[in-house]
Structure 1
Amino acid sequence: AGGAPKTVAAASVGRNGALKCAPGYVLDASRCALIVQDMQNDVVMEGGAFASSGSPAHCREQNAIANAARLAAAARGKGVPVIHVWFIVEPGCPGVTMNAPLFEGLADAKAMVRGTWGAAPVPGLEAVAGDHVVEKQRMSAWEGSRLETVLKALGRDIVVVTGAWTNMSIEHTARTGADKGYYMMVPEDACSTMTAEWHTASVNYALQNVAVVTDVDAVVASWG
């Protein structure tokens, strides 16, 4: 009861077809950390660099910003550290290897440039006193960042991941975290991507194997 819920066959189906584990599990809040990843204006807001991808619409459909904000507030109330992971690049993307279409698209769109509106966190998910901020330049929150240093310093091994995009940064972060030995949890209603189809495919065919797929209400309830 004090650890992470067992990864078992999904026990419920969300309105979007997402398979989720049964609620009613208990988590030890002193072992948990919450990641809010890539919830930046360029990523999920109208007027952002990737608005034409459908990302803002799916974020609204998921109510992902409000759901993640509610989870963050609950986490702070239980002493669970909130870690904001932001994709931040310097003008011209120096140091970002152009070895994949995603990174090429980032440079072409001049997205997430430090100090710009696009790089800023979305309204409602700003870091507050006591939160941690980790910067990255890859899809995974672990790659080339200080995330693991922060988690080890805090003594946390159950990692709850929220944010965008489900089938990219969220999935990469969950996969790597599982490989590193962390218990990964993904409340899918606090995550979004470009379309419901992509989201559900990632949740049902990839994340099921590396994380406990759940929802915000169940995580909040698990902290008692």
Structure 2
Amino acid sequence: MALPGIATYPLPRRDALPAARAPWQVAPARAALLIHDMQRYFCAPFPPDTAPLPEVIAHIATLARAARACGMPVFYTAQEGEQLRADRGLQADLWGPGMSRRPEHQEIVPELAPAPGDLVLVKHRYSAFQRSNLETLLRARGRDQLLITGVYAHIGCLATAAEAFQRDIEPFTIADAQADFDAARHEMALRWVGGTCGGVITTADALAALPEAARCA
């Protein structure tokens, strides 16, 4: 029931992304960045120093710097270790007890450590909206777009995009700033989001929508 080992695979290329049904474009004044579950426990199954994780981390770090530079809110999700069975719920049946409270499990990878002013939400279920005040925090800041990065593309990232759509928040999957168990599941997640609930773009596309000063941050 533990997380599987993950083999190296190449990140999706822009020319291979699925067309999205949604006509939306990223608007910096309406958008927030979500860094989803980039904790050491979830990143440990990836092979070190080879695709896809180092590239994903670099892309997320670039997006986070640019977002902060233009005043875009940056949100994180992070699970807590050693959850009670009642809190972990059905996830325990599929994934076992999950992480411990040790830093080598709970800690967000150092390259993506939250900065002052970023908001870290406790993660309870696949979707970042479940049992959190993410929607309230977005609305209070006048944000109705969500740029979704992190792991895993076909689980929590996809579930968050679907729920954002159902809450009338426009989701954008950043295809090369997410990682997954393998290329097939990563591609499936992109097709599903693009066909049903959101935009599918690259890091470069997202950066191009931001002010030039932010892109150079």
Query: How has the CA–CA distance of structure 1 residues 80 and 199 changed in structure 2, closer, same or farther, with 3 Å as cutoff?
Result: same
Query: How has the CA–CA distance of structure 1 residues 145 and 19 changed in structure 2, closer, same or farther, with 3 Å as cutoff?
Result: same
Contact 2:14 2:201 in 1 (8 A): no
Report deviation, 1:90.
3.5
Matched, 1:166 2:157: no
Contact 1:26 1:223 in 2 (8 A): no
In structure 2, C-alpha distance between the alignment counterparts of 1:212 and 1:167, rounded to whole Å: 15
Contact 2:85 2:92 in 1 (8 A): no
2:79 alignment partner in structure 1:
87
Matched, 1:68 2:60: yes
Which amino acid letter does the alignment assign opposite residue 60 of structure 1? A
In structure 1, C-alpha distance between the alignment counterparts of 2:188 and 2:49, rounded to whole Å: 14
1:200 alignment partner in structure 2:
187
In structure 1, C-alpha distance between the alignment counterparts of 2:14 and 2:147, rounded to whole Å: 21
In structure 2, C-alpha distance between the alignment counterparts of 1:155 and 1:44, rounded to whole Å: 32
Q: Is the partner of 2:104 in helix, strand or coil?
A: coil
Query: How has the CA–CA distance of structure 1 residues 26 and 98 changed in structure 2, closer, same or farther, with 3 Å as cutoff?
Result: closer
Which amino acid letter does the alignment assign opposite residue 98 of structure 1? L
Which amino acid letter does the alignment assign opposite residue 160 of structure 1? L
Which residue among 91, 112, 119 is the counterpart of 1:125?
112
1:41 alignment partner in structure 2:
40
Which amino acid letter does the alignment assign opposite residue 215 of structure 1? T
Gaps of 5+ in 1: 1-12, 46-50
Report deviation, 1:94.
4.8
Q: Deviations over 1:193-222 (max 9, x none)?
A: 110111011112344321100011111110
Report deviation, 1:136.
1.5
Report deviation, 1:144.
0.7
2:90 alignment partner in structure 1:
98
1:15-54 alignment, distance < 5 Å: 17-19=16-18, 27-45=26-44, 51=45
Report deviation, 1:132.
0.7
TM-score, length basis structure 1: 0.79
Report deviation, 1:115.
4.9
In structure 1, C-alpha distance between the alignment counterparts of 2:15 and 2:86, rounded to whole Å: 39
Matched, 1:209 2:196: yes
In structure 2, C-alpha distance between the alignment counterparts of 1:71 and 1:174, rounded to whole Å: 18
In structure 2, C-alpha distance between the alignment counterparts of 1:215 and 1:43, rounded to whole Å: 22
Contact 2:18 2:194 in 1 (8 A): no
Contact 1:59 1:191 in 2 (8 A): no
1:3 alignment partner in structure 2:
none
Which amino acid letter does the alignment assign opposite residue 159 of structure 1? L
Q: How much is the aligned-residue C-alpha RMSD, in angstroms?
A: 2.5
Contact 1:86 1:133 in 2 (8 A): yes
Report deviation, 1:130.
1.1
1:7 alignment partner in structure 2:
none
Query: How has the CA–CA distance of structure 1 residues 16 and 199 changed in structure 2, closer, same or farther, with 3 Å as cutoff?
Result: farther
Aligned length: 196
Matched, 1:152 2:139: yes
Query: How has the CA–CA distance of structure 1 residues 33 and 106 changed in structure 2, closer, same or farther, with 3 Å as cutoff?
Result: farther
